[in-house]
A and B are shown apart, each in its own frame.
Chain A
Amino acid sequence: MADEPLVLGIETSCDETGVGVVRGHTLLADAVATSVDEHARFGGVVPEVASRAHLEAMVPTIQRALKDAGVSASDLDGIAVTAGPGLAGALLVGVSAAKAYAYALGKPLYGVNHLASHICVDQLEHGALPEPTMALLVSGGHSSLLLAPDITSDVRSLGSTIDDAAGEAFDKVARVLGLGFPGGPVIDRYAREGDPDAIRFPRGLTGPRDPLYDFSFSGLKTSVARWIEARRAAGETVPVADVAASFQEAVTDVLTRKAIRACKDHGVDHLMMGGGVAANSRLRAMAEERCAAAGIELRVPRPKLCTDNGAMVAALGAEMVARGRAASDWELPADSSLPVTEPHVPGRHHAA
């Protein structure tokens, strides 16, 4: 529909420079420039390397997104940007660019939350989000169970990781196995050839007295490392595919078990999954099976919309416009620890 808000979204919270353009729930462009190859030899994202890459990629990626969408910047109804959480210096490049474009074009600016964006992106895939939405958000930086009665104004945290994020555990296990960085895609690949029941790795925080919706992956990571080191010390070959499959099984078992429990406890008949780890094939398959068995509808976007991208930011920005939420003001800060309970950062004294 032509009267739905046309919004450009900018995402620079980690190592992807993402710029998306949406009209309401319709994806028009999703341009991403990534610096992941520059981080690989360091075994993880180096914030300064990411920030430098964002500066180089920013304007060209915006130009590409507008061209792909076939729209002119002057037609936009607003510009949305990830205000946090994320790497401070990386966020600041996107926030500064968004402010300048919004100011120069005379458009409202919406500083939005990275995590809420990961949920809202599903509107581009499966239409309007149910209210409330139950969401499992899993990535290299976050692992959270969120309940969102209104994605633009009311997002509640039911639980989150108490140590490592799920994606971090993939990276660390891949490092121990010598598979390089990032760990998610490569573990997924090896795991397809392995036996998920070969090794029984621990399921963190699943005891009767453990918090219902919190996660812990640090102990699992250590347990996998110990198992591998013991084999190596004994001069045995490490069965990489079996380790990958068994580790992945432990992660996905806990994630899906807790997510479905949360749906049942809160009387929610669907589950949304987002974040980079939601691109994992085993997590998607297991969630599909277990949701079907529990009578819960699973909503998970295509993998490219699960990893960081600008379209998700545009999707949340478009929802902000549609619901008449207050725009941000020109002092909008980049907030590396923006709480998940703040879907956007409204201005205190907006003048635009």
Chain B
Amino acid sequence: MLLAFDTATPAITAAVHDGTAVRAESTQVDARRHGELLLPTVDEVLREAGVKLDAVTGIVVGVGPGPYTGLRVGLVTAAAFGDALGVPVYGVCTLDGIAYAAGQADDLDGPFVVATDARRKEVYWARYGDPRTRITDPAVDRPADIADEVAGLPAVGAGAALYPEVFTGVRPQAPVHQSAAALAALASERLARGEEFLPALPLYLRRPDAQVPAGYKLVMPK
């Protein structure tokens, strides 16, 4: 019994998956309230699924890449649940969940690209061979700088929709936002196949913005 959630995109999404099927899912989009909404959303899906916490055998969490503040909400919540319940925490690349969901919603039989909004006029993105197989490491770039690499490829995710001039193959029928149900279903497949997971650590892909000061500013003008 998996409890899955992801806060690496504007969505706050949680789901319960019993190893065969999704038992409950809830997704809200509110980029500024991850911290407030995640626990109530988890509570809601557990209730809806009629699953008690002590039945949960693993936590699945989207590890990004994503804007840091929201991303950390999901990761620290997953780590705390893992510790308090004594169950493993399975990290999954957030883009993998979107790719998997796109595969379920759309007829994607060849390579495609997933992109989310990284703000500051950049995207987090990766290329996929099929909905279950990522073939590049997740990266953060300005859309114009990767135009050649993504031109003509089918593209899914909010980052692709934001920059249609670069992501020329945007698929309107694919879901735009992350879904914990897709993340849980993907993790469940990977568990069944005995595949490795990512550690539940954040994929920030950027260093903190901070400048080492050159010296202090004089109070008295020279």
Contacts and interface: CB of A to CB of B under 8 A. Distances in A.
Contacts of A7: none
Given A104-B85, A330-B40, A48 B220 contact: no
Interface of B: 33, 35-40, 42-43, 53, 68-69, 72-73, 75-85, 202, 204, 208-213, 216, 218-220
Given A58-B79, A63-B83, A103-B42, A96 B216 contact: no
B12 to A, nearest CB: 12
Interface stretch (A49-57, A256-264, A318-326): A49-57
A74 to B, nearest CB: 9
Identify whether the interface residues of A are mostly helix, strand, loop, or mixed: helix
Nearest to A98: B80
B69 A42 contact: no
25 contacts: A43-B213, A46-B208, A46-B210, A48-B68, A48-B209, A48-B210, A49-B208, A49-B210, A51-B72, A52-B208, A59-B76, A89-B69, A96-B35, A96-B38, A96-B39, A96-B80, A97-B80, A103-B39, A104-B81, A172-B216, A222-B219, A229-B218, A330-B39, A331-B37, A331-B39
Contacts of B213: 42-43
Given A51-B69, A226-B219, A59 B79 contact: yes
Interface of A: 41-43, 46, 48-49, 51-52, 54-55, 58-59, 62-63, 73, 88-89, 92-93, 95-97, 99-101, 103-105, 172, 175-176, 222, 225-226, 229-230, 233, 330-334, 351
Given A42-B213, A52-B204, A105-B84, A333 B75 contact: no
Closest 3 A/B residue pairs (Cβ): A100-B80, A104-B84, A48-B208
Contact of B43 (A48, A52, A93, A103): A103
Contact of B80 (A59, A222, A229): A59
Contacts of B79: 58-59, 97
Nearest to A232: B218
Contact of B212 (A42, A100, A172): A42
B100 to A, nearest CB: 25
A217 B204 CA distance: 38
Given A99-B77, A330-B39, 5 more contacts: A48-B208, A52-B202, A89-B68, A100-B80, A333-B35
A37 to B, nearest CB: 14
A334 B35 contact: yes
Contacts of A48: 68, 208-210
A107 B132 CA distance: 39
A230 B38 CA distance: 56
A89 B75 CA distance: 13
B10 to A, nearest CB: 16
